[in-house]
Chain A
């Protein structure tokens, strides 16, 4: 595939453009599934989703149904969630506990390490010697690795180790994982939604500082109303207790970091405010990790680990898994992610802040997803196929990090230090450079 027809990347000319077809073309979509979602590292879930012996949870990588299972000794593994006999989906639920999985179709069974336990009536089956010599266990994912409790798998075996794939962006996962010595958990209650637009719109929007005051004025107005009439009925807003994002704000407000392999961060300075549930740990976190890293934990941070994981810590804290279903249809599975062991009051505050902002039944996310759908409709307009949404920050982006990344000992590929008005778009370049790299090249013979 000639990717230059989709991504026009000419740094020397100050040009970076993306073709609308990247969001609509069926051949592009099929190749994304093959090369990106079934051809490299994909986020599966976090270890606490299968906390105890024999716990499992299910997910997908591209078209592949996946089961992540902890065995009796505590080892986590990733399997294709499909019976080797006739291919039926084996585990039927999102999560559960099973020493033994019995296929509901013909009762082949498997232990929690994926080994075959029994082929029903095997001796009476008149099988050939060749069959008897076959392994009847579950197919393991070609690669399965964890980083700080974040679990990843790959359908391609020839990929670099996970640590290399994450690179310096791993330090941003540390900021999530280190908020409690006990680790992370997902608050009970998964929320799933779909939108009728391409998966890359979600990829971009998470990193898009430019849309916030345009797409969310109704939410911002609600926050202003609450701030004027504070009472026990309403939850404190992180946004209203910080000014960095407001269009009239002055000075350094945050910025962006770009990493190899398509990982990006968009961030802003919230400050140490009681509106953030982590406030109760502010002192302890500074002692444990130093003030620089502590302050980073309190920054607004929208992190994307390419291609399907986003951890958004802004109004509250959300873990998102992006699943492309069709060029114009995407499924989002979302959870409130939280440090284990926080106080009941902090947890309650986190949950209330989460529902209003992040839920598809709340007051912010629908104004994003409806905008994605408006984009998808607009992509039909191919008179001028090249989009102009990748140009802000072109003269501000610099190679390497800055004084803020130094606080984490983190070396990004590129960085932008921004005031509230800059709203960098060059961080999207990292997505599309990784995308182009994965999509380019010859087709298998």
Chain B
């Protein structure tokens, strides 16, 4: 007998996702996403609104399908990207977790994040912050991420922002 997703379960998944990406356990991180995941970080249209239609407006990142995230991980770990060597040290704080709607099969969750990143290469620390919106689904007995929308509030990018610091 399954039940609707609780806030504790949502927090558990979101915190685990943060730990996996922060500790560079990329294969396990990828497993948290469904094969058809939508991974989206909109750009800003003006001072107050982000872009809303990824087909007609620009996003900072937009992917449909986990294989695109696999490509990003491959690039990060390939040793072929000077921007990714060495990988920055980062830690995510995920807070303000709210389950907005939930049933036995799916849930919508919102959260806030800050990510502190230390760029070892440049001896430089940056902080990125914003909000997450998740669509979670129960897949083969485990909650998985079917959609993740990242609203990055400080969007003047200091040289580079990759999937490991948002």
Contact = CB atoms under 8 A, between A and B. Distances in A.
Interface of A: 93-95, 187-196, 215, 217-219, 221-222, 225-226, 229, 231, 233-234, 331, 335-336, 344, 347-348, 351-352, 354-355, 359-363, 365-367, 369-371, 373-374
B12 interface: no
B1 interface: no
12 contacts: A188-B57, A189-B57, A189-B58, A192-B155, A221-B74, A222-B71, A233-B64, A344-B56, A354-B58, A355-B59, A355-B62, A366-B83
Contacts of A95: 46
Given A190-B44, A233-B68, A234-B65, A348 B84 contact: no
A226 B72 CA distance: 12
Contacts of B57: 187-189, 351
B26 to A, nearest CB: 14
Given A188-B57, A336-B58, A369-B159, A225 B71 contact: yes
A359 B83 contact: no
Given A189-B43, A361-B41, A366 B159 contact: yes
Contacts of A362: 61
Nearest to A193: B157
A231 B64 CA distance: 11
A361 B61 contact: yes
B78 interface: yes
B111 to A, nearest CB: 20
A199 to B, nearest CB: 14
A187 B78 contact: no
Interface of B: 41-47, 51, 54-65, 67-68, 71-72, 74-75, 78, 80-84, 121-122, 124, 155-162, 166
A369 B82 CA distance: 10
Nearest to B64: A233
A219 B75 contact: yes
A364 B78 CA distance: 14
Contact of B159 (A195, A231, A355): A195
B142 to A, nearest CB: 22
A191 B60 contact: yes
Contacts of A351: 54-59, 62
Given A94-B47, A225-B71, A225-B74, A196 B159 contact: yes
A226 to B, nearest CB: 7
Given A221-B78, A360-B157, A233 B56 contact: no
Contacts of B51: 188-189
A363 B59 CA distance: 14
Nearest to B165: A361
A222 B41 contact: no
B80 A217 contact: yes
Nearest to A344: B55
A57 to B, nearest CB: 11
A26 B43 CA distance: 34
Contacts of B162: 361, 366
Contacts of A196: 122, 124, 159
Contacts of B56: 187-188, 344, 347-348, 351
A366 B57 CA distance: 22
Contact of A373 (B60, B62, B122): B122
A348 to B, nearest CB: 4
Given A221-B80, A366-B83, A371-B82, A361 B46 contact: no
B61 A355 contact: yes
Nearest to B150: A361
Contacts of B158: 193-194
A189 B44 contact: yes
Nearest to B58: A189
A181 to B, nearest CB: 20
A194 B82 contact: no
A218 B60 contact: no
B81 A218 contact: yes
Nearest to B78: A218
Nearest to B41: A361
A363 B54 contact: no
B153 to A, nearest CB: 14
Nearest to B66: A233
Nearest to A222: B71
Contacts of B43: 189-191
Contacts of A191: 43, 58, 60, 155, 157
Nearest to A372: B159
Contacts of A370: 82-83, 121, 159-160
A117 B102 CA distance: 56
Contacts of A231: 65, 67
